[in-house]
Chains A and B, each alone.
Chain A
Amino acid sequence: MTEYVDAGQAIPLSQLSAVKGSAPPVAENVNYERILNARSEPHNWLTYYGTYDGQRYSTLDQINKDNVKNLAPAWVFQAAMVGMHSGASTFSFEASPIVVDGVMYVSGPDGKVWALDAKTGEELWRYKHASPYDVSLCCGNVNRGVAVGHGKVYLYTLNAHLVALDAQTGQVVFDSVNGDVRAGESGSVAPLLVKDMVIVGSAGGEFGVRGHLDAFDAHTGERRWRCYTVPKPGEPGSETWADNGEAWQRGGANCWVTPTYDPELNLLFQGTGNPAPDFDGEVRPGDNLYTDSVVAVDVDTGEIRWHYQFTPHDVWDYDSTMENLLFDAPDGRKLLAHADKNGYFFVLDRTNGELVRVFPFVDRITWGEITPDGKVTPKVYPDKEGEPVHFWPGPAGGKEWTHMSYNPQTGLIYVPVQEVGATATRRRREFKESMPYWGAAVAVDLEDFYGFVAAIDPLTGEEKWRWRNEYPMCASTLTTAGGLVFQGTPTGEFVALDAETGEKLWSFQCGSGHHSSPTPYEVDGRQYIAVPTGWGGWLEGFLPGLLGGNKGDALFVFALPES
């Protein structure tokens, strides 16, 4: 036998690519002060929603309603999902890219993060977080984005690690374990940088995870606080869970969407997820706080200051994780807007959680009724074992996690609306750690669905216009000072609407459906709109009628022609 040929040492795959390996040090001086004043540097998109208030509004106006018809791709980046990865058929490119002075930081499915030249799309560095194939994922292999600051890029991974990367090289600075994958926990949220902390929240409501919101030291990765969103016996809110019961231990209320933040009130506004089991309320009598709520959390201590529950004792899977958009009334009153899965649009006083107004924003609501003064009356719900019950909206809601946007020029909030119903049949099961814990058989409607973008005046509840689509709206809106609203559709079109009238002004077919949040930015005086595409995630929940839609994982960036 001859000697073996020396194959050497395995090398990083990126060494066999055109990846440059480093990015300019633009993130070194991104700090709390800059993020607080993010609107003053509209060429950047410094935080998940653009600004802490969650408005997803850009003052950039180079692209406007007069010239948007000329918008064209400037470059495309492919996330390149290959090999055996978790959620092999359910991955989706859900992020909202962050942009800092010409560098884009964006996360994709399967633990990937890239630093890209925001002008050319050149790959500056990449990071790939190896994550177990068998991690519990209710809703696909997804990640909604990164936070950038203090010279670092922060990622919350599928296996619930908070990872900080050197923003210049993509190398790991720290890695803090924050969740128990054996308990069905995972991570998908885009972290939020506040002061010298990184805020992340749990995912795993379909596996009976007891929800939590967490703050870590942004420099060291050491934990500052954890806020559980289901109280233990004896804690405030525990009276809403059955006495002597175990339900609170698996109660849900997970925090898988980034909170908004008011620096004057020093409060985070975190939406919480469904109670567990989703559809079997009999095993968890009571209102089940703080599920399906907004909780106002002191950012320094993690203490809950107030809460408002949108769907008490939910048995329809009506998470309220989606954003709580902050805006001020003309009289200066500090308000919060929330379009819930349950089909109702809520406006609250964000200083104390007092209800200002509530009204429906979808066409079909059969699960129950909420009166203008906030009284909730359930009407149709899975109650008897084995008896099918149909209801609207379905468990993905009248609006899922994808975000609405607020344009101060029009005073309107642009809501991506899903009109899809579902049938749930209660099927009790015992709780076992890591096993899906729904308590029902659920089939979302394969027909009789549609969607629209609703332009809503949050001060009156009036729908000013709607742009109707054959398919539900399953991606975030973005609005700009150019008088535009951008919306991606499930069939791949990226559409620009007139913010005042809803008229469709432009569209581009991206080849795969949208389930992400577009980002505006500017480099060297040229405005761009970036949008990740890639149809996937919990398709069987929000639009099973397009389960066969084309997959994809490309980031498109649009601009006006340079000439």
Chain B
Amino acid sequence: MTTISNERADELAAAGLNGQNKLTLGRLLGTGSIGYAEEGPDGVMRATVRIPEDQFCWEPGILILPHGGTLELTLINDDKNTHCSVLPNIGDNLVIWLVNHSKGTATLNLQGPGIYWYGSATGNDEGRGLTGAIVIGGEVPPEAKLDRPPQPRP
């Protein structure tokens, strides 16, 4: 599932911030759509991200996971240029090369909560907009919490 506020998208488009060689040279980071991973009965979360043609971005640009764990990520390059993806993962970053019109997978193990960034580490793909976010929600387990009454949050 992918969502983005039309109002926000319209503002970004009007300002020339969400494309290539408009107001900016590349796409402003963090301006992509939001998607959610789906958790299967096996506890594994699954999602797909694409690189649209001539966009230099991941679609969705922000992928939300309900909690930490295993993510099976399908990566599709619909662009007419070659890119790649270097992805965060416990133990070592993962890398996959994505030639024009290709499709691959990555199995990630990540802890939450928090934000992780990933990108296409070739040329300046990352600066042009091919920097995506994987966002993990949730709380740490009870045994890791401080022994104190609930505290106010911002």
Please list the residues of chain A having a beta carbon within 8 angstroms of any beta carbon in chain B.
Answer: 2, 4-14, 16, 82-84, 126-135, 159-161, 170-172, 175, 177-183, 185, 208-210, 212, 223, 228, 232, 246, 249-250, 430-435
Interface-central residue, B106, B114, B143, by most chain A CB under 10 Å = B114
Asked if B95 and A13 sit within 8 Å, CB to CB, the answer is: yes
* Interface flag for B111 (CB, 8 Å): yes
Bound-complex Cα distance A181 to B136 (A): 12
Bound-complex Cα distance A297 to B85 (A): 48
Asked if A135 and B114 sit within 8 Å, CB to CB, the answer is: yes
Smallest CB separation, B11 vs chain A (Å): 24
Asked if A9 and B106 sit within 8 Å, CB to CB, the answer is: yes
Q: List 13 A-B contacts (CB under 8 A).
A: A4-B102, A6-B103, A8-B96, A84-B119, A128-B92, A130-B89, A135-B114, A171-B91, A180-B140, A181-B113, A182-B140, A185-B146, A228-B147
Asked if A13 and B96 sit within 8 Å, CB to CB, the answer is: no
Query: A434 contacts which of B91, B93, B148, B153 (Cβ < 8 Å)?
Result: B153
Question: What are the nearest 7 A-B pairs in CB distance?
Answer: A132-B114, A7-B104, A10-B106, A4-B103, A10-B96, A10-B94, A5-B102
* Interface flag for B76 (CB, 8 Å): yes
Asked if A5 and B99 sit within 8 Å, CB to CB, the answer is: yes
Asked if B101 and A178 sit within 8 Å, CB to CB, the answer is: no
Q: Cβ of B89: which chain A residues have Cβ within 8 Å of it?
A: 12, 128, 130
Q: Mark B67-100, 1 if CB is under 8 A from A, else 0.
A: 0000000011100000001111111111111111
Asked if A130 and B101 sit within 8 Å, CB to CB, the answer is: no
Q: Cβ of B94: which chain A residues have Cβ within 8 Å of it?
A: 10-13
Bound-complex Cα distance A430 to B131 (A): 35
Asked if B99 and A133 sit within 8 Å, CB to CB, the answer is: no
Bound-complex Cα distance A499 to B139 (A): 51
Interface-central residue, B116, B139, B140, B154, by most chain A CB under 10 Å = B140
Asked if B103 and A128 sit within 8 Å, CB to CB, the answer is: no
Interface-central residue, B87, B88, B116, by most chain A CB under 10 Å = B88
Smallest CB separation, B65 vs chain A (Å): 12
Bound-complex Cα distance A128 to B87 (A): 12
Given A12-B94, A127-B91, A228-B147: A431 and B101 interface contact (C-beta under 8 Å): no
* Interface flag for B55 (CB, 8 Å): no
Q: 16 extra interchain contacts, Cβ-Cβ under 8 A, other than A12-B95, A180-B144?
A: A7-B97, A9-B106, A10-B95, A11-B94, A13-B92, A16-B95, A82-B121, A127-B92, A132-B116, A170-B91, A181-B114, A183-B146, A431-B152, A432-B153, A432-B154, A433-B154
Bound-complex Cα distance A310 to B145 (A): 29
Smallest CB separation, B46 vs chain A (Å): 14
Given A161-B111, A183-B151: A10 and B87 interface contact (C-beta under 8 Å): yes
Asked if A4 and B76 sit within 8 Å, CB to CB, the answer is: yes
Asked if B102 and A435 sit within 8 Å, CB to CB, the answer is: no
Q: Cβ of B28: which chain A residues have Cβ within 8 Å of it?
A: none
Asked if B91 and A12 sit within 8 Å, CB to CB, the answer is: yes
Smallest CB separation, B20 vs chain A (Å): 20
Classify chain B: how many residues form its interface, as a range.
Answer: 35 or more
Query: A232 contacts which of B75, B112, B147 (Cβ < 8 Å)?
Result: B147
* Interface flag for B124 (CB, 8 Å): no
Chain B residue at smallest Cβ distance from A82: B121
* Interface flag for B25 (CB, 8 Å): no
Could you tell me which residues of chain B, from 105 to 120, have a CB within 8 Å of some CB in chain A?
105-107, 110-117, 119
Asked if A130 and B116 sit within 8 Å, CB to CB, the answer is: yes
Smallest CB separation, B121 vs chain A (Å): 7
Q: Cβ of B117: which chain A residues have Cβ within 8 Å of it?
A: 83-84, 133
Q: Cβ of A430: which chain B residues have Cβ within 8 Å of it?
A: 152
Asked if B144 and A178 sit within 8 Å, CB to CB, the answer is: yes
Asked if A210 and B146 sit within 8 Å, CB to CB, the answer is: yes
Chain B residue at smallest Cβ distance from A127: B91
Bound-complex Cα distance A159 to B103 (A): 32
Query: A432 contacts which of B100, B102, B149, B152 (Cβ < 8 Å)?
Result: B152
Query: B101 contacts which of A2, A170, A175, A185 (Cβ < 8 Å)?
Result: A2
Q: Cβ of A84: which chain B residues have Cβ within 8 Å of it?
A: 117, 119, 126, 131
* Interface flag for B123 (CB, 8 Å): no
Asked if B91 and A249 sit within 8 Å, CB to CB, the answer is: no
* Interface flag for B141 (CB, 8 Å): yes
Bound-complex Cα distance A249 to B26 (A): 46
Asked if A5 and B103 sit within 8 Å, CB to CB, the answer is: yes
Asked if A133 and B116 sit within 8 Å, CB to CB, the answer is: yes
Bound-complex Cα distance A430 to B151 (A): 11
Smallest CB separation, A175 vs chain B (Å): 8
Asked if A132 and B103 sit within 8 Å, CB to CB, the answer is: no
Q: Cβ of B148: which chain A residues have Cβ within 8 Å of it?
A: 210, 249-250
Asked if A182 and B113 sit within 8 Å, CB to CB, the answer is: yes
Chain B residue at smallest Cβ distance from A228: B147
Q: Cβ of A435: which chain B residues have Cβ within 8 Å of it?
A: 154
Q: Cβ of A131: which chain B residues have Cβ within 8 Å of it?
A: 111, 114
Bound-complex Cα distance A238 to B89 (A): 43
Bound-complex Cα distance A181 to B144 (A): 9
Given A7-B75, A435-B154: A179 and B144 interface contact (C-beta under 8 Å): yes
Asked if A13 and B93 sit within 8 Å, CB to CB, the answer is: yes
Chain B residue at smallest Cβ distance from A1: B101
Asked if B95 and A11 sit within 8 Å, CB to CB, the answer is: yes
Q: Cβ of B90: which chain A residues have Cβ within 8 Å of it?
A: 129-130, 172, 175
Smallest CB separation, A183 vs chain B (Å): 6
Q: Cβ of A82: which chain B residues have Cβ within 8 Å of it?
A: 121
Bound-complex Cα distance A223 to B93 (A): 29
Bound-complex Cα distance A134 to B113 (A): 9
Smallest CB separation, B15 vs chain A (Å): 23
Asked if B111 and A130 sit within 8 Å, CB to CB, the answer is: yes
Asked if A12 and B93 sit within 8 Å, CB to CB, the answer is: yes
Smallest CB separation, A19 vs chain B (Å): 9
Q: Cβ of B101: which chain A residues have Cβ within 8 Å of it?
A: 2, 4-5
Q: Cβ of B119: which chain A residues have Cβ within 8 Å of it?
A: 83-84
Chain B residue at smallest Cβ distance from A85: B117
Q: Cβ of B111: which chain A residues have Cβ within 8 Å of it?
A: 130-132, 159, 161, 175, 177
Smallest CB separation, B81 vs chain A (Å): 13
Query: B105 contacts which of A9, A134, A161 (Cβ < 8 Å)?
Result: A9
Chain B residue at smallest Cβ distance from A158: B114
Q: Cβ of A170: which chain B residues have Cβ within 8 Å of it?
A: 91
Bound-complex Cα distance A134 to B115 (A): 6
Q: Cβ of A9: which chain B residues have Cβ within 8 Å of it?
A: 96, 104-107
Bound-complex Cα distance A129 to B91 (A): 6
Bound-complex Cα distance A83 to B117 (A): 9
